[in-house]
Chain A
């Protein structure tokens, strides 16, 4: 029998709550990827997943394994630290390459949404 069934209720309750919450938030992030229209909106979807979604699941993992092994298990903190340090860099790189691609293709209206005269990166163009 797995240990999960014999987990005391005071640990099972918060662990389950955080797991469900994290799963829901990750699902919302995925729905965002599906529903949002253009690339610049879609890039905001995964941001919820990596911060709150991953955070809730890692907290649940800390609660579960701390209770299971009867000693503090907190090395999940490292995962959140590395995710929070690396994910923003990836988002920035993807964003910049998208802007660069649109400017190269002469699709400035795709960037501004066709309503605003401010073209980003205008002073960078040759």
Chain B
């Protein structure tokens, strides 16, 4: 089972993608999609040095994605109003450093996608062996506020999803 289906959620996602692409749930498409869903993860395994992501708390993941969607809409409104109504010279764009406790590579990938999807923040790189994150903020008011936001609203839930064991070890 483990050998032929290394990651069940991944296989289901591939099958769903195939059915959505073809816009059909005819038996033929179900069959071909299932073959793809089994074969593609096996063929792509050498491309994944960290193995498949194990989502430990799916519910926390959905909560995080929903929260990010709201945050994206809010940031869109903020950035739009800055672009339209403020002088470009008055915008305080800065690099900030955020200390990170997150270690899981999949968690870091998710964090970078969420941060870059949110208008107004762009991920630059990881400093000092992944212990610090360099961010570029479009309009910086309060550096500490940004650090707290990233840590409590993004990093904490992501650690809950991917590495709940280390989280409980630190905060009893």
Contacts and interface: CB of A to CB of B under 8 A. Distances in A.
Interface of A: 25, 28-29, 31-32, 35-38, 40-41, 43-45, 47-48, 50-52, 73-75, 77-78, 84-85, 87-89, 91-92, 95-96, 99, 111-113, 116, 118, 120-121, 123-124
Contact of A44 (B79, B95, B112, B124): B79
B124 A99 contact: yes
A87 B118 CA distance: 11
Interface residues of B, number: 35
B35 to A, nearest CB: 20
B91 A41 contact: yes
Nearest to B91: A41
A51 B138 CA distance: 16
A42 B136 CA distance: 12
A37 B134 CA distance: 21
Interface stretch (B48-56, B82-90, B148-156): B82-90
B108 to A, nearest CB: 12
B72 to A, nearest CB: 5
A40 B21 contact: no
Interface string B124-147: 110110000010101000000000
A95 B119 contact: no
Nearest to B17: A78
A92 B123 contact: yes
Nearest to B81: A28
B120 A44 contact: yes
B57 interface: no
A36 B83 contact: yes
